[in-house]
Amino acid sequence: MTGPPGAPEGFVRIVGAELDQVYVAPDRMGTGLAAPMMAAAEAEMAARGIRDAHLIATLGNDRAARFYERQGWRDTGIRRVEVGTSAGPFALDVRRFEKRLA
């Protein structure tokens, strides 16, 4: 995570072989912050022995999809996932990206 407590400029969250969250604060988008965060997350996953990583992007988040592709992630198509909400499960179509880590 970068930035002060309570006001992160960006962070990533790894859950198993999934890069579960990639967040960059709106005022930090386009500043070059995301690429080193992504590289650090990939290095951490590789250090944990993860060889094949994946992540998802919501449909319509074209900026994120382009960023992931520039970072070497391969778009493997649309999948339907179930996400938990306070009202119960919700089906959501997402774009899945995969990357073989060194």
CATH code: domain of residue 51:
3.40.630.30
Predicted confidence (pLDDT) at residue 1 exceeds the cutoff of 60 = no
Residue 3, domain member (yes or no): no
Sheet with 74-85: strands ordered across = 10-15, 18-24, 52-58, 88-100, 74-85
Domain count along the chain: 1
Rounded Cα gap, residues 38 and 74, in angstroms? 14
12-51 tens-digit pLDDT = 999 999 999 999 999 998 899 999 999 999 999 999 999 9
Residue 53, domain member (yes or no): yes
Rounded Cα gap, residues 47 and 6, in angstroms? 28
Tokens coding 18: 């999934």
Tokens coding 74: 């391969």
Residue 92, domain member (yes or no): yes
Residue 5, domain member (yes or no): no
For 29, the domain range is: 10-100
Residue 23, domain member (yes or no): yes
How sure is the predictor about 5, in pLDDT bands with cuts at 50, 70 and 90? confident
DSSP 8: -
